Chains A and B, each alone.
Chain A
Amino acid sequence: MVSGCICLMTLTAGATSPTYLIAIGNNAGAANEVELLYAERDARQVTRVFQELGEVSGKTTMLLAGEDASTVRSALLDLNARIRAGGETNPKLIVFYSGHADSKALHLGNTRLDLTELRAIVKGSSASVRLLVIDACRSGAVTRVKGVKATPLFKLTYDTGQSAQGFAILTSSSAGENSQESDRLRASFFSHHLVSGLRGAADKNMDGKVTIDEAYQYTYAQTLKSSGRSLELQHPTFEYGLKGKGGVILTRPSNSKGRTGRLRIETPGLYLISEGSESGPIAMEVAVKKGGTVVALPHRKYFVQRRGLNSYREYEVTISSRRTTRLDTHPYRVIDYDRLVRKGGSQRGAVHGLTLMGGFRGQRIEGMGTTPMALAGYAVDFSTLSLGLRLGLSQFETPTHNEVQTLTERDWSLGIMVQRFIDFDLVSISLGILVEGLVFEQQFQTRGEAPARRAFGFSYGALLGIETTLWTGLALRLEGGPTSSVFEQAVVDGGEAVGQELRTPLTWSANAGVVIRL
């Protein structure tokens, strides 16, 4: 069985007991393993969230980045000795690891630390609550694959003490699965969601505290969801044995301290919180299930993006130290998916849309004048171009010859459009070309003989458009431009058709309507 990431935890209930943290990160693995990018960063982020929101101080924290097995081993043993000597009531021990591993050992550069040894060291600690998190990885390409070799699942054992004590194992992936890290998140999926959960996203009952159960449930769901968009699914596992009453509190986002503030989110949805600006590092990807969720973040300015079904809502907020900022009171702008696709900011490769428009077209045949037209279209917006099909109908009736005869003309068109959109704050401008096939039908109401006529042709032209969003998924579009049509026209002499000639009149069209993006 495979144990991709393994967590050992010993738990003890207790609100004010000290917590000791060892965070180990190592980007380097064995000689045949590709160096990771974010393993050491994961360890720093975990350290940071526990220091800001947990009962961990600088004195009870140890960050081991890029260290070998002997250093880690020594650090763990020293800490065990320190806890044992300290005589504190119900201390907690949390050990976090991010890096390469296989089914038997962590790979700390070229050195190995056996899992059985690690497990024995943690389990042997005198701390009441013992927690080991291993996010083992091996690198992939764009989204690097963190993995371990196939092996029987790490076997769990549980302590059965009378007090709130326990021993648990949390794995970032199940047997046979790999764990992944993301360039977009600049972290491994698992570590990122664990940190987000600890910052408050996992606070399911919204009591301002994140327990081990809440952290696991949140991390499991979000890791599975994120990995679903990547190479393969990743199922974190979490098993623990706990004796005693009450949940084990890992962090308290509502009681942020130091330079940490809080962001209160009222509207459920998926939020992407980036530092500084849209292009800044992603601080948190948080799925808010209920209104009133509070997440704790370091004091600074953030770009918050709420990803809805058909649009993004973007905020810019500043989190102040020890203060709660309500996101919903901030102004925002709605960005439809078509814009996101065009600027490459969406995971959707294309946005489909329907267009309904009406307008006018200049005369193609002398004397016919400006005629009304209706258009129905379908378009696909890609990042660089928009491709569309459109069906048009123009129908008009005109009396001729002192109103003794009536001509009814119906023009059908089926065209292909290629457009390039340029997005501004309030409007989008489009430039494009259009090629259409045309079918003309002329019918005459007369007491004489004038059989119906049907002719074929085509037209080509330029399209200039301007579009503004009315509502999510609904936009108003004005569009038009010059077009040239090519068709055969009869030469009429004395009222009678006596010949034909090829006509290529230059005319125009102008339309207005709505675009419904699907």
Chain B
Amino acid sequence: MNLRSWSCLATMISLLSCGKPLVDESYRGTPLFEFEGQLDVQGRFEPGVHNIRLSIFWLPDGPATIRQHWVEQSSASVVVDFPSSFAVKVFEPPKPAHYFQSQALGRLVLYDDLDQNGQYSRDEPIVGEAPNQGLVYTPPDHDEAQSFTTVSFPQGFSLIQYPLRCRTRPPHSLDAGCALLIGAPCQTLDDCCKQADECEPYGAVCIPENSGRQRFPGGYCVARPNSRVCTPHERGRDLGEGMVAARPLSINYVGRILTMFVKRCESSAECRDEYVCEPAYQVCLPDRPVRLAMNAEYEPGSICVEDTNQEMPSME
């Protein structure tokens, strides 16, 4: 080929690289939200026999557990094999008709897609869900005062802990400022105090990395509710020098549900690596993958807890 032929070829190739490449029908757009998780199997499921799909089901009835009213967002539906991890990408927001009050509440549900049409049909069995996690979608024009959950969620999708404290405001009166290293990594109790000998009397507790079902990467310093160095603190007011904003939360620690002060936050930027600011409770908690539990005898539980003692619900 002569120079001219090469020039033409180069022009054609460069033209090909212009623009955005074409997509096929599997393309869904730019993900608005994505999360990963793991699937736990309880009971007997024969691999290859079932066509298990994970999907988001919006709850127009809110905390009610009437399955017939749940609405699947089939565009977020994925096939899951087990045992396995999975990744879900959400490409579109829920329809306003699927909101409960001013937000959309979602459950992560497993079902057996018997007709293999890629979406949930009424007579298909629900075989599991993420028991302690769900999804909230907060539209751009959301009014916090109208929130069913009564907490301030960031705009868009949020992965949250279930169950929620529903219909009541979070116990802001229990927020505190602690003169301890709440939220800091720890291997021993001494890591939680500025002065090693102050930890025990001041009510500090070090939750080691592997202390129970919940893994706390690097360990996590908390304080007992009756800590003498934790004083009430209203959000928005100045904390004293060396004070850490904290909020009580029931957590599973060495086999017991205990209420502890954990690090309070507004966003995940305030939390350590591998920790996120849990949007519903606004505390720094381990960034754990969504865990799905599959059980043929599955019965959905409520996403709400009754709030009687002004304490945060427990985090399993």
Give the nearest-CB partner of B117 in chain A. A402
Beyond A367-B26, A497-B21, whether A402 also contacts B119 by CB under 8 A is yes
A368 interface contact, C-beta 8 A: yes
* Segment touching A, from B88-96, B180-188, B267-275, B290-298: B88-96
Asked if A442 and B87 sit within 8 Å, CB to CB, the answer is: no
**Could you tell me if A447 and B93 are in contact, using CB atoms closer than 8 angstroms?**
yes
Among B25, B32, B118, chain A packs the most CB atoms within 10 A around the CB of: B25
**CB-nearest residue of chain B relative to A366?**
B24
Chain B interface SS verdict (over half): loop
Task: Check B1 for interface membership: any CB of A closer than 8 A.
Answer: no
Instruction: Say yes or no: A402 contacts B23, CB within 8 Å.
Output: no
The answer to whether A405 and B22 touch across the interface, beta carbons within 8 angstroms, is no
Asked whether A492 lies within 8 Å of B118 as measured between CB atoms, the reply is no
Distance in angstroms between the alpha carbons of A497 and B91 in the assembled complex: 12
Of A365, A448, A458, A492, the contact of B30 (CB 8 Å cutoff): A448
Q: Quick check: is B28 within 8 A (CB to CB) of the other chain?
A: yes
Question: How does the 8 Å CB contact mask read for B75-111 relative to A, with 1 for contact and 0 for none?
Answer: 1001000000001010111010000000000000000
B29 touches A450 (CB 8 A): yes
Evaluate contact between B18 and A456: CB separation under 8 angstroms.
Answer: yes
A488 touches B21 (CB 8 A): yes
Q: What chain B residues lie within 8 Å of A401 (beta carbons)? A: 28, 74-75
- Asked whether any CB of chain B lies closer than 8 Å to the CB of A110, the reply is no
Most chain A Cβ neighbours within 10 Å, of B12, B15, B23, B26: B23
Q: Is B2 an interface residue (CB 8 A)?
A: no
- Cβ contact within 8 Å between B74 and A404: yes
Check B27–A495 contact: CB distance below 8 A. yes
Instruction: Determine if B242 is an interface residue (Cβ-Cβ < 8 Å).
Output: no
Q: How far is the CA of A488 from the CA of B21 in the complex (A)?
A: 5
Provide the residues of chain B in CB contact with A73, threshold 8 Å.
none
- A454 and B92 within 8 A (CB): no
B118 touches A405 (CB 8 A): no
Contact A489 B91 (CB under 8 A): no
Q: Give the Cβ gap from A447 to chain B, nearest Cβ, in Å.
A: 4
A455 interface hit (Cβ, 8 Å)? yes
Binary flags per residue of B1-38, CB closer than 8 Å to A gives 1, else 0 = 00000000000100111111111111111111000000
Contact (A454, B19) CB under 8 Å given A448-B30, A449-B32:
yes
Chain A residues within an 8 Å CB radius of B75: 401-402, 404-405, 448
**Chain B interface size range:** 20 to 34
Beta-carbon contact of A367 and B25 below 8 Å:
yes
Closest residue on chain B to residue A367 by CB atoms? B25
Interface pair A497/B27, CB less than 8 Å apart: yes
A489-B16 contact, Cβ under 8 Å, with A401-B75, A402-B75, A405-B28: no
- Which residues on the B side are within 8 Å of A365 (C-beta)? 22, 24-25
Contacts of A366 in B (CB 8 A): 24-25
A488 to B16, Cβ gap below 8 A?
yes
The answer to whether B26 touches A492, judged by C-beta atoms less than 8 angstroms apart, is yes
Closest chain B CB from A334 CB (angstroms)? 43
Which of chain A's residues 421-469 have a Cβ closer than 8 Å to chain B? 440, 442, 444, 446-451, 453-458
Interface residues on A, range: 35 or more
Is the contact region of chain A dominated by helix, strand, or loop, or is it mixed?
A: strand
Residues 104-128 of chain A: 1 if any B CB is under 8 Å from the residue's CB, otherwise 0?
0000000000000000000000000
- Shortest CB-to-CB span from B185 to chain A, Å, is 34
> In the bound complex, how far is the Cα of B92 from the Cα of A401, in angstroms?
12
Q: Is A151 at the interface (CB under 8 A from chain B)?
A: no
Q: Of all chain B residues, which has the CB nearest A444?
A: B29
- Interface 1/0s, chain A 472-501, versus B by CB < 8 A? 000000000000001111101011110011
Q: CA of A60 to CA of B75 in the docked complex: distance in angstroms?
A: 106
Q: Name the residue on A nearest B26 (C-beta).
A: A492
Please state if A495 and B29 are interface contacts (CB–CB under 8 Å): yes
Q: Are B92 and A490 in contact (CB under 8 A)?
A: no
With an 8 A cutoff between CB atoms, is A160 at the interface? Answer: no
When distances are taken between beta carbons in the complex, the residues of chain B under 8 Å from A404 are: 74-75, 92
The distance in angstroms between the C-alpha atoms of A449 and B28, with both chains bound, is 8
Are A495 and B19 neighbours in the complex by a CB distance under 8 Å?
no
- On chain A, the residues within 8 Å of B12 by CB distance are 458
Encoded as 1 (CB less than 8 Å from any B CB) or 0, chain A from 397 to 425 comes to 01011101101000000000000000000
Q: A365-B22, A501-B21 are in contact. List 8 more A-B contacts (CB 8 A).
A: A400-B27, A402-B118, A446-B29, A448-B28, A448-B92, A450-B28, A487-B22, A495-B29
Of the A-B pairs whose beta carbons lie under 8 Å apart in the complex, a sample of 30, sorted by A's number, is: A365-B24, A366-B24, A367-B26, A400-B25, A400-B26, A401-B74, A401-B75, A402-B119, A405-B75, A440-B22, A446-B92, A447-B93, A448-B32, A448-B91, A448-B92, A450-B29, A451-B20, A451-B30, A453-B23, A458-B15, A488-B16, A488-B19, A489-B21, A489-B22, A490-B24, A490-B27, A492-B23, A495-B26, A495-B27, A500-B21
Q: Which residues of A contact B (CB under 8 A)?
A: 365-368, 398, 400-402, 404-405, 407, 440, 442, 444, 446-451, 453-458, 486-490, 492, 494-497, 500-502
Chain B residues with a Cβ under 8 A of chain A: 12, 15-32, 74-75, 78, 87, 89, 91-93, 95, 118-119
What are the 9 tightest A-B residue pairs by CB atom distance, in nearest-first order?
A: A450-B29, A495-B28, A448-B92, A488-B21, A367-B25, A453-B20, A500-B21, A448-B91, A490-B21
